[in-house]
Every structure is written in C-alpha cells, then in structure tokens.
Amino acid sequence: MNQVFKYIREFYQKEFNLWYFLLILLLVGTLIYVNYWHFLERRYAANAKTKWAGFAGYYLLYFIPFATAFFLQLLFFKDCTYYNHPWFWVILILAPAFFSFRVNFDFHEAIINKIWTGDELQFWLRCINWVVRVLVLLVPVFIIWFIKDKNTQPFYGTKALDDIKPYLIMLLIMIPLLALASTQKDFLSMYPKAKFLTWLETGHQKWRYVVYELCYGFDFVSIEFFFRGFLILSLLKICGTHSIIPVACFYCTIHLGKPMGEAISSFWGGLLLGVVSYNTGSVWGGLIVHLGIAWFMEIGGWLGALFRK
C-alpha cells in the first residue's frame, strides 16, 4: 500500500488546486442532485423515444461533465497546452460517443430472439448483452490504439502488475462499506443482479448463476480498459495528470442509473484508480478491485435481503 499512497501524494502535490477542485465537486454534486431529484438520466436518455435520441441523450450526459472538467483547467493551470494537440480533441469528442453507442447497442438482439423464447430468451439476452457490449466498446478503442499508440505502448492497460497485494488490501478495506450499503433499501432494490434468475422458471439451476455472474463480471473488463486504460493512458503524454479528474467525472456519469451512494463513490473511486493506472500503466489492479467490489455487492445483496426478511 505504500506505493499507492506515494502515487496519491504525488498526484495531490502536482495536481491539487483548491478552487478547481471545489468547482469540480460543485459540478459533480449538481449533476447528482439533478439526476436523483429531477430524473436526468431516466427522463432524457434511458427513456428516449428513438435510438438517436437515446444516443444523443447519453452522449451529452457523458460529454458535458467530461469536457467541462477539462475546460475549467484553463482558469487554474498554466500548462494546458494539450488543447493544441489534435488527438486531445479526437478523444474528447469520440470517447463519449463510444460509450453512448455501447449503452444503446442492441443489433444482436434480433438474432438472439430467433434462437430462444420465453424465460430462456430473457436469461441469454442479459448474459450475451454484457459480453457483446465489451466488444462494441473495445473494438474502436483498439483501432485508436493501433493508429495512435501501437509503437509507443502495449494495448492500453495490459502491462503486467509488479504486485497485486495493494489491490487486495484496497478490496478488503471496501468490505465494511459494502456491508453497510447492503442494509440500504435503494441498494437492495438493485442488488444482487442475479436475483433476476429467481423470477424465471429456469432460474434455479446452479450453472445459470455461475454463467450469469461471469458475464456480469466480464462487463467490468470493458469499463476498466476504457476508463483506466484508454482514457488515462492514451492521454498520458498529451495531458499528463490533468486527464485524471475529467475522466473521474465521466466515470461518475455512467453510474447515474444506479443507487445514489454508488454514483457518489464512483467519482472518488475513479480518481483513485485513475491515479494508480496513470503511474503503473496497468488496469489489472483496478480490475481486481472493481470485479471484487461487484461480486461482493452481489453477495451483500443476497445477505441483505436475507436479513431483512
């Protein structure tokens, strides 16, 4: 953990500006308030009447905080020369589009509907959706890496870790917080995700729970490679540490459809994991933490529901 604390200290010394950070907290706080009290994500993106409207809604939801966090840096930092770099603008504009396309992608569902019906269809639809959307997100990221960074770094975040112990400790530290979350009503209304299987006539076969949780976990692969790999490491030589806070803002926006506590903590988690991947060039540590939290939330959801009975 000493190395992780060193990364955090160096980030604080180099990047922390009180007024900039207060504006970022105001930005994130306003976004969360508007979403959970005025149904921002649900009203303008999730329930859009057409696919294009849904794509546009999610694009703006992601792009505005992401871009605003970068633009505010012009007021507080003197080394923001990255605005002169064409790749900065390419990534700033395309990254929210990639994720919005991922959220709205459903072209494979027509094929699935022809293979299965009823409860079997519902099971495979959810499982395959997670797997397909990993590919939908990482294929364009791979294309950018191939064009831009193939000769300077391995595919974003694939560098091996020297030591996994700090990440296991970070995961253990999260367990009491997850235990507390599992007592909350909004948490239990969403987790465990696998409770969906109890509503299906086919859902009580144990192998289905294993497949479901593995596919659910696989979804986090694309999240880590996108946010801590692509967005941090493709901008590493362009923006330096200036990319970490805007990426954390973007990361927060993808949690707005989840319990409010999860959305709030995602900003801080995004900061921490961004700092780590910036310094290590690897997403494997973040993936260990992220997957561990996701599966502990599943366990917490089951236990929380059990004790509330």
Q: In tens digits, what is the pLDDT along the chain, a chain of 309 residues?
A: 678 889 899 999 989 999 999 999 999 999 999 999 998 998 888 888 888 999 999 999 999 999 999 999 999 999 899 999 999 999 999 999 999 999 999 999 999 999 999 989 999 999 999 999 999 999 999 999 999 999 999 999 999 888 888 888 888 888 888 888 788 787 888 888 888 888 888 757 889 899 999 999 988 889 999 999 999 999 999 999 999 999 999 999 999 988 898 899 999 999 999 999 999 999 998 898 888 888 888 888 888 777 765
Structural domain that includes position 205: 2-308
110-133 per-residue burial string, b: 16 or more CB within 10 A, e: under 16 = eebeeeeeeeebbbbebbbbbbbb
Number of domains in the chain: 1
Radius of gyration of the chain (CA): 20
pTM of the model as a whole: 0.91
pLDDT of the residue at 203? 59
Pinpoint the alpha helices (H) of the chain. 2-15, 18-38, 40-41, 51-71, 73-76, 86-104, 109-115, 118-148, 165-181, 185-188, 206-224, 232-233, 236-239, 244-253, 260-280, 284-308
The reported pLDDT for the residue numbered 309 is 57
215-241: b (≥16 Cβ within 10 Å) or e: bbbebbbbbbbbbbbbbbbbbbebbeb
Coil vs helix vs strand at 137 = helix
Q: Are 52 and 279 in contact (CB under 8 A)?
A: no
pLDDT of residue 124: 93
Q: Which two tokens stand for residue 204?
A: 């009580």
Q: Which single residue is written with the structure tokens 């994500």?
A: 41
The whole-number pLDDT of residue 199 equals 83
> Rounded to whole angstroms, how far apart are CA atoms 122 and 232?
36
The pLDDT of residue 308 is 66
